[in-house]
Structure 1
Amino acid sequence: MARRSDDARAKKCIGILQPVYLPWIGYFEQIEYVDHFVFQDDVQYTKNDWRNRNRICTKAGPTWLIVPVKRDGLHTRLHESRIDYGRNWARKQILTISQAYASSPFVAPVIAMLQEAFEAQPERLTDLTIPLIERLSSHLSIASTFSRASDVPRAPDADLTARLLEIAQANDATDLYLGAKGVAYVDTGFLAQNGVSVTFQDFVHPEYSQNGPEFHSHMSILDYIASVGPAGVRHWLDSLPKFGAHG
């Protein structure tokens, strides 16, 4: 599918987000919107966050899927964080997902992805989470390309906004599409002075038929796929605006 109108080919939009374990659907909306997506894997790892966990909806309500991470110190970068295989969490996760979506005809390919990823036992957390996001994007026919921020040289004194500019310039980006929370800490004026425009996500969460009587938003993409199938998710993505569609 064409990702931008003919008169806007000189423009390029990228998204920049920290990699997340089996992200929610809003994460994939950001990947779908942009031409290229950069995993911000060079930031400090944060505990009790979405980097190593997410939720699915069971008949009893939301439940956590957690990848245990070794305690490597307070200043460990996300791409340095190591997975703890000391507990049999992978088999339990597969069982939890299989039981939660036993009646769904759409879950088997996703479970196969997870089993293959778990059997490989990557040492680093990002070597589990990033390939899974890429494979799920392919499963949903998302055409964006991917790279990692850790591959972009970083100036020692670069603050958050300066780092965004470094990543944008390394990817020849004219536009950034960032999460809504970025409004509070991104200096859009500085970026504009350096030729980079910023749009912040303004996301409306869809509702769909789900396990249990009450709808729970912000579940893992697994929940949406299990409920409507990859074709249903693709139909929803096709209904959303794309970068350059207005130009």
Structure 2
Amino acid sequence: MKLAIMQPYFFPYIGYFQLMHAVDEFIVYDNIQFTKKGWINRNRILVNGADSYIGIPLKKDSDYLNVVDRYLADVWPEEQKSLLNRLTGSYRKAPHFESVFPLIKEIIQSEERNLFGFLLSSLVKVKNHIGITTPLIVSSSLAIDHALRSEEKVMALCKARNAQVYMNPIGGVELYSKESFRGDGIELQFLKADNIQYPQFSNEFVPFLSIIDVLMFNSQERVRDFLNQYTLQ
């Protein structure tokens, strides 16, 4: 059984969904500390030929809380309108705007105010739209010692699901040791997305943008093709 474990991200890039598609089960961390500089509540879209950040405003709270303990700010209903207007302005002339925008709008206008609940729901809706059938599992639902950290927690989750293979994005090469995993009977693999490119109007291609960008410029069939364009190390 192949397993991947990731933080919940806000409309993540295509590599996130490649990883989800490549495994038999995909664990989403809810009991992991929120990080300001990561991709949990922000991402990048194309605006006038360049990348630009979008995000979800959060209620002010301790920086040490877990993702599941954070909530969207009270101004989010007003911010929704602004975000949808930005997306419309950026992508209304994209070839698949008419079929994709209703999905994005439904996700953004969700009444869920818990950050994790909002992100999990958005991941489910996007994966279903693309055609990914991998089940998502919430990390805290598994019976392990959740005080564990880093590699030890990953291996505990792998054992809890009887995983023989653990897949991680290529960025984890410096974090995890194949030898350590092998000692516990688990094969560690790293997924590296190919150099996926597609027309973005007449602009020079801007890589690694949100899945929103991928969906706006590519058919569902083409996006499904992208899911298999990676190498394993």
TM-score scaled to structure 2, two decimals?
A: 0.91
What corresponds to 1:79 in structure 2? 68
Q: Gaps (5+ residues) in structure 1?
A: 1-11, 243-247
Aligned-partner residue type, residue 54 of structure 1 = N
Instruction: Work out whether 1:38 is the aligned partner of 2:27.
Output: yes
What corresponds to 1:63 in structure 2? 52
What SS does the aligned partner of 1:201 have? Answer: strand
Aligned counterpart for 1:199 among listed residues 189, 200, 203: 189
Aligned counterpart for 2:91 among listed residues 101, 109, 115: 101
Aligned-partner residue type, residue 155 of structure 2 = L
1:74-96, Cα deviation, whole Å (9 max, x unpaired): 21001211111325211111111
What SS does the aligned partner of 1:202 have? Answer: strand
1:10-58, Cα deviation, whole Å (9 max, x unpaired): xx10111111000001111111111111112221101132100111112
How large is the RMSD of aligned CA atoms in angstroms? 2.0
Aligned counterpart for 1:113 among listed residues 103, 118, 133: 103
Aligned-partner residue type, residue 50 of structure 1 = W
**Contact 2:100/2:216, CA 8 A, preserved across alignment:** no
1:49-78, Cα deviation, whole Å (9 max, x unpaired): 210011111224222211011222021001
Distance change >3 Å, CA 195–CA 34, structure 1 → 2:
same
Task: Write the distance in 1 (CA, Å) between the matches of 2:53 and 2:87.
Answer: 10
Instruction: Work out whether 1:19 is the aligned partner of 2:8.
Output: yes
Task: Write the distance in 2 (CA, Å) between the matches of 1:108 and 1:42.
Answer: 36
**Contact 1:59/1:212, CA 8 A, preserved across alignment:** no
Q: How does 1:1-247 map to 2 (within 5 A)?
A: 12-87=1-76, 88-155=78-145, 158-238=148-228
Distance change >3 Å, CA 173–CA 156, structure 1 → 2:
closer
Aligned-partner residue type, residue 134 of structure 2 = S
Task: Write the distance in 2 (CA, Å) between the matches of 1:109 and 1:164.
Answer: 38
1:120-161, Cα deviation, whole Å (9 max, x unpaired): 321211111111111111111112111111212342652311
What SS does the aligned partner of 1:198 have? Answer: strand
Aligned-partner residue type, residue 217 of structure 2 = S
Task: Write the distance in 1 (CA, Å) between the matches of 2:64 and 2:7.
Answer: 16
Give the percent of matched residue pairs that are identical in Structure 1 and Structure 2. 21
Task: Write the distance in 1 (CA, Å) between the matches of 2:190 and 2:131.
Answer: 23
